[in-house]
Each structure stands twice: as C-alpha cells, then as structure tokens.
Amino acid sequence: MQLTEQHVINRNDPRFAAIDAVAFASKNLYNAALYEMRQSFIHEGKRLSCNQMDKLMKQQEAYKALPAKVAQQVLKQLDEAWKSYFKACEAYRENPSKFRGRPRLPKYKDKVKGRNLLVYTAQAISGGEASMASKMASSSPLDSRSRSRHGRSPSIKCALYRVQAFT
C-alpha cells in the first residue's frame, strides 16, 4: 500500500514563488529537449532515447537549472510522451475509426504560462533528520517533515499548487 500526503500551496504561500520558478525551469528543459527530439525525428527519422537525451541536454542551461535527478525525471516524462505518440500511431494504423484525427507529435508547453510537473524521487531526497528543504537544497523550497513508517523520506511529486508526498 502506498500512502500519500498532500499539501495544497496557493499563491499566498511563501513557498509558491520558489516552486513556481522551479516548475518554470522544468518547462524550459521539457521544451528544449522536445525541440531536439522533434528535430531528430523530423529531419533524420530517428527517435532519441532517454539516455541519449540526457547526454545531449547535460550541457544546456535548462538542464543545469534543475537538480540532476529532477532533470532526468523531466526527460523521462518526455520519453513517455513520445512512447504514447508511437503507440497512438500504431493504434491509428490498426483502426483509424477510434480516433478523431491522426495522432500528433508531443506539443510544446506555453512559453510564458507553461509549467511542468516536478518529480523528486527518493534518490533526489536523501535520508537523515534534516528537513526536505535542506535535502533538496539545489532548488525546492519544500519543508515537509513527512516520514514513512520506515523512517525514510517520501518521494515528492510537485505540480503547481499541489505537493504530494508518496511514502
């Protein structure tokens, strides 16, 4: 059984601006990586793997703006979007009547209003008695004193306004 602890963070919360900034940086990485993947697919006809994207994006400012584990999770999200696209294309070829139209390539997130999901895995959050804010010192302002029954820090998925801690 997986327990979930949820914190709603509204615009008046002091942590909101910092979380919003990290979600914006996550969106920038998503869009930059999507650009590289689309160019490779459209011009060369090949799909870049998650590992190839990680190596390619490590030198980008958008990648460096996030903790490495969080940046890798953004690239995994994008990889999943591409896998879904190819599955949809396959299903479309088998039975187009299930669809309103032909599946489209994954889309960019809005340049100004766009935000991307932040995923802090257990690896991104080390153990110990310190608060999560100090454990995620590289970017996140979260200060949840949550602990699982086994004394481990929970994984955190952070979306705009909502923080969920999975233990």
Cα 102 to Cα 159: distance, rounded to the nearest angstrom: 30
Instruction: For residues 143 and 148, give the distance between their C-alpha atoms in angstroms, rounded to a whole number.
Output: 15
Query: Can you give the pLDDT at residue 153?
Result: 47
Rg (alpha carbons) of the chain, rounded to whole number:
18
**pLDDT for the residue 159:** 45
**Is residue 12 over pLDDT 80?**
yes
CA 104 to chain centre: 21
Give the global pTM.
Answer: 0.78
Binned at pLDDT 50, 70 and 90, residue 14 comes out as confident
Question: Which one is predicted more confidently, 156 or 124?
Answer: 124
Single-letter amino acid, residue 105: L
pLDDT tens for residues 91-140? 999 999 999 999 999 999 999 999 988 888 777 766 433 344 333 434 45
Q: Could you read off the pLDDT of 38-78 as tens digits, one per residue?
A: 999 999 999 999 999 999 999 999 999 999 999 999 999 99
In the chain, where the domains are located: 4-166
Which of helix, strand or coil describes residue 42?
Answer: helix
Distant-in-sequence contacts of 75-78, Cβ < 8 A, 24+ apart:
75/29, 75/33, 75/50, 76/50, 77/30, 77/116, 77/117, 77/119, 78/30, 78/33, 78/34, 78/37, 78/53, 78/106
Tokens 């459209």 belong to residue: 42
